Amino acid sequence: MMCRHARRNGPGCWSRRNAVAVIHAQLQADCLVIGRFPLCHLLLLKDANYPWCILVPDREGISEIHQLTDAEQQQLIRESSQLARVLEKAFSADKLNIAALGNIVPQLHLHHIVRYRTDPAWPAPVWGRVAPRPYGEGQLAVLLEKLGVVLHGLTGYTPA
């Protein structure tokens, strides 16, 4: 049987849900796209209260992890684990919060939030605790440089 779709992943053909996804408008408004892994876009949330990255799988119409193929689920965990390791080490995190909520933004995305015992929301979840604080121009440049250094060399990572 001939595949009717242009993209293929091994035997068989991809379904339309595997088409390239557009990043949800809310994520585009709240974040900067800073790079790309084989499966996911890497975003930085514009909130200086916490170092906060978000992985967004490049799959159209996916809102839950279980909707990804088994191979995509494994790739998501690999990418999340790589990101978590470098964030924890680079920022000397007391705790790393990783979550996929999707109550407001239905597109699957995985938050990676560096937490400190001294942060404004500790020990509670970050959502709704304090207003987002924009990065100062110099502060954002320093953070992006640091992230660029620690992400460099991760398997499959490409900066934006």
* Distance of alpha carbon 68 from alpha carbon 15, whole angstroms: 11
pLDDT tens digits along 113-140: 999 999 999 999 999 999 999 999 899 9
Q: Is residue 1 part of a domain?
A: no
Q: Is residue 147 part of a domain?
A: yes
Q: What is the DSSP string of 82-136?
A: HHHHHHHHHTT-SEEEEE---SS--S--EEEEEE-TTSTTTTS-STTTS---PPP
H or E segment and range at residue 58: none
Question: Which pLDDT score is estimated for 85?
Answer: 98
Q: Is residue 86 part of a domain?
A: yes
Q: Is residue 6 part of a domain?
A: no
Q: Is residue 4 part of a domain?
A: no
Q: Is residue 11 part of a domain?
A: no
20 vs 79, which has greater pLDDT? 79
Question: Which pLDDT score is estimated for 19?
Answer: 56
Domain coverage including residue 80:
16-159
Q: Is the pTM of this model over 0.85?
A: yes
* Number of independent structural domains in the chain: 1
* Distance of alpha carbon 142 from alpha carbon 144, whole angstroms: 6
Q: Is residue 7 part of a domain?
A: no
Question: Which pLDDT score is estimated for 20?
Answer: 72
Q: Find the CATH number of the domain harbouring 65.
A: 3.30.428.10
For residue 10, give the DSSP letter: S
pLDDT tens digits along 1-53: 232 223 333 333 333 345 578 999 999 999 999 999 999 999 999 999 999 99
